[in-house]
Amino acid sequence: MDIKLDSGRLCRLLRIKADLIPNYYLLAFPKEYGEPSAGEVAEMLTLGIEQAQELAFDLLGDAEAFSILYSGYSARREKGWHVHIVLLGNRWRKSWLYFVLSGKNLLQAFGLRKDDSPKLR
Type of residue found at 78 = E
Tell whether the model's pLDDT for residue 41 goes beyond 70: yes
- % residues pLDDT > 90 (the chain): 55
Radius of gyration in angstroms for the set of CA atoms belonging to the chain, rounded to a whole number: 15
Tell whether the model's pLDDT for residue 78 goes beyond 70: no
Q: Which residues contact 56 (CB under 8 A, 6 or more apart)?
A: 62, 63, 64, 65, 66, 87
DSSP alpha helix (H) spans, the chain: 38-60, 91-109
Task: Please count the CA atoms within 13 angstroms of the CA of 23 that sit on its side-chain side.
Answer: 23
Q: Give residue 63's pLDDT.
A: 96
CA angle 105, 55, 86 (to 5 degrees): 10
Q: Give residue 120's pLDDT.
A: 44
Confidence of residue 89 (pLDDT cuts 50, 70, 90): confident
Confidence of residue 4 (pLDDT cuts 50, 70, 90): very high
- Nearest residue to 48 via CA among 5, 87, 24, 13: 13
Tell whether the model's pLDDT for residue 75 goes beyond 60: no
Tell whether the model's pLDDT for residue 31 goes beyond 50: yes
Q: Give residue 74's pLDDT.
A: 56
Beta bridge partners of 68: 85
Q: Give residue 116's pLDDT.
A: 56
89 vs 92: CA distance, rounded Å: 9
Tell whether the model's pLDDT for residue 39 goes beyond 70: yes
